[in-house]
Structure 1
Amino acid sequence: MASKQSFTLDPGTRALLHDLGISVARVLRRAQLPAGFFAHGAVTMATEEYYRFWGALDAEAADPDLAARIGRTLSAEAFNPPIFAALCSANLRTAADRIATFKPLIGPVGLDVASGPTGLTIAIHWPEGPPPPPLLVSGELAFWVALARIGTRHEVIPTRVAMRHAPQPSAETTSYFGTRIRESETDAVTFSAEDAALPFLTEDESMWNFFVPELRRRLSELEASATTADRVRAALHERLPAGESSINAIAAQLMLSPRTLQRQLQAEGTSYQAVLSDTREKLARRYLADHSLPTSQVAYLLAYDDTNSFYRAFRRWTGLTPEAARTGNRLTPA
């Protein structure tokens, strides 16, 4: 995801800061953003501005438990349209899939959603370049817990919460999540299969159908400014768990012929096979960092025909077997 892209920061953020007792003006001043940033409704931010905003919010609050406070304070009124629309889903599993599709409209965050018998894992990945502010990471994890609780009206407790740079444990944050945040190679939250399937009391399919055409239009506009390789990666994130890895399937999703797709990738100095291999490797590292996912399921999520094919590919990328990489903590991003 290119850092030059812009993302929408909804005016609901101003209401959230008010509810938290944090001065919007002081946060904007710290972030070196215009004082009237929210004066005309939704605003767009580049990745660097988005990171500065969250870093400034953290500094202004000076509260190590701010992510937990954000989670407890969040309400549907503070959600962006894609998130509000996702509340209309049948359950958390469906909402996660829908949010993953439209998340690029909201911020420089990508989501990998893995669902299976062991539960629902939502892994977060960030653009290349400077790391995101810690509050943005922990706030994203707190959001998913809040969404599950708002939708189901149950005190849903994740089975695992993990960050690459986990904060020092605190009673308040552990109380909010129901478990401590663990150190890991990936930023992710996992819910049990039972909790992921709990019905959302906010389900409203007609409302979702009302929102989705506009969300798709905005997403198309955003994708039009992305490189072909970016668009292929985004399509692979969606199609690989469904077992689709062929250039024909991805080209059809992008409404291109396979020949045109390959030609556009060649003009960018790459190829479909190179983008597929790179995407699979990065996803493999993220999935394997979640020790609750068996290797066979990781192979399935990457659309390999069998586990042996995945083993051969992983050894080609890393010189290791998946088990050896897990045991030796060798799963840092490629």
Structure 2
Amino acid sequence: MATGRFTLDPGIRALLHDLGVSTDRVPELEQGPVMLTVDEYYRFWDAIDREAGDPDFPVRIGRALSVESFNPPFFAALCSADLRRAAERIAAFKPLIGPIVLDVTGPDLTLSLRWPDGPAPSSLLVAAELAFWIALARIGTRRIVHATRVTMRSAHNSPALTEYFGTPVVAGPADSISFSAGDAAHPFLTEDESRWRLFEPELRRRLAALEASDTTADRVRAALHLNLPAGDSSIGGVATRLFVSPRSLQRRLQTEGTNYQAVLTTTREQLARRYLADRSLSTAQIAYLLAYDDTNSFYRAFRSWTGATPDELRPAGSRTRK
């Protein structure tokens, strides 16, 4: 998002206290929410890592998470019907937490983190972000939910982490966690649509204020990240998500020197290149995630962008089934 800052919620005080981590040497912590630059936020987590001195600290964070540890967007997610819907809501409101993009893809539920450009976050921060999803699933369903796959660009693994996730952390092109379709659709016992309706207007107001300096093209791209895996590439679907009419949306894009089709095409190409680096995704699945009617349509589009087929540009060693 335009701000490029993370919001450090005061609820983290209680979490760190429960984990026995002193905050005396973490000056950013105050009584209210604190806005940190990316560098400050990463240094904050580095300080916690040094203070904890525990390679299994992400597991301890996951097990200690409770409703009171969550800030409003995460608490609102617990009102969702299931983990997939909760992930979609968090993806939409993640900018209120910080400049991280959460990609929600299927057909099984895969949640991938895209961090700000620049230095990479610490393995502790990445592992803690991924452990959060296990905690959320377990709190919502009151079941022991495990991941089917966990990848980190800088693999961080231990017996305790493997036990917590239910699968070893493996090196991969993205920081991601996957769940089975059954676990993704298992009902949340915390579902409360009436409470969600109380949360939603304020969250949307805050998001609108945050997005005020974003371009319309930026907002369209963010909406497409949510709509494409659901099979919707239409301007109408994006306009609905952005609360404008298709005509108004196209007019705003034209004032920025672009149009909906151009933004859709570049977004699909960027996502296609990212998905091709994931060995677990077949070409047919990638076509599905990009909302193409069939694999041949995806092949034709990809060749028009790159002059090559998806298989030809797949990174060495990552070829998979079609």
TM (norm. structure 1) is 0.86
Query: Could you give the per-residue CA deviations for residues 119-176 of structure 1, whole angstroms, max 9, x where no partner exists?
Result: 2111111122222222221111100011111111111111100111112x31111121
Aligned length: 316
Paired AA for residue 173 in structure 1: L
What residue in structure 1 maps to residue 273 of structure 2? 285
Change (3 A) 1:54 1:201: same
1:155 is the counterpart of 2:154: no
Paired AA for residue 203 in structure 2: L
Query: Could you give the per-residue CA deviations for residues 279-301 of structure 1, whole angstroms, max 9, x where no partner exists?
Result: 21222233334444332232122
1:242 is the counterpart of 2:230: yes
Gaps of 5+ in 2: none
State the 1:106 CA deviation: 1.0
What residue in structure 1 maps to residue 221 of structure 2? 233
Change (3 A) 1:189 1:6: same
Kept in 1: contact 2:276–2:315 (CA 8 A)? no
Return the alpha-carbon distance in structure 2 between the equivalents of residues 313 and 134 of structure 1.
Answer: 36
Kept in 2: contact 1:123–1:286 (CA 8 A)? no
Paired AA for residue 265 in structure 1: E
State the 1:190 CA deviation: 0.6
State the 1:323 CA deviation: 3.3
Query: Could you give the per-residue CA deviations for residues 47-102 of structure 1, whole angstroms, max 9, x where no partner exists?
Result: 23222222222232222211111111111110011111111111111111111111
What residue in structure 2 maps to residue 211 of structure 1? 199
Kept in 1: contact 2:153–2:171 (CA 8 A)? yes
Return the alpha-carbon distance in structure 1 between the equivalents of residues 181 and 122 of structure 2.
Answer: 30
| Aligned residue runs from structure 1 range 185-334, under 5 A | 185-247=173-235, 249-251=237-239, 253-254=241-242, 255=244, 257-266=248-257, 272-318=260-306, 320-326=308-314, 328-329=316-317
TM (norm. structure 2) is 0.89
State the 1:46 CA deviation: 2.7
Return the alpha-carbon distance in structure 2 between the equivalents of residues 84 and 326 of structure 1.
Answer: 39
State the 1:259 CA deviation: 4.4
Change (3 A) 1:198 1:247: closer
What residue in structure 2 maps to residue 63 of structure 1? 54
| Aligned residue runs from structure 1 range 121-160, under 5 A | 121-160=110-149
Q: Could you tell me the percent identity over the aligned residues?
A: 63
What residue in structure 1 maps to residue 41 of structure 2? 50
User: RMSD over aligned Cα, in angstroms?
Assistant: 2.3
Return the alpha-carbon distance in structure 2 between the equivalents of residues 87 and 209 of structure 1.
Answer: 13
Poorly superposed stretches of 4+, deviation over 6 Å: none
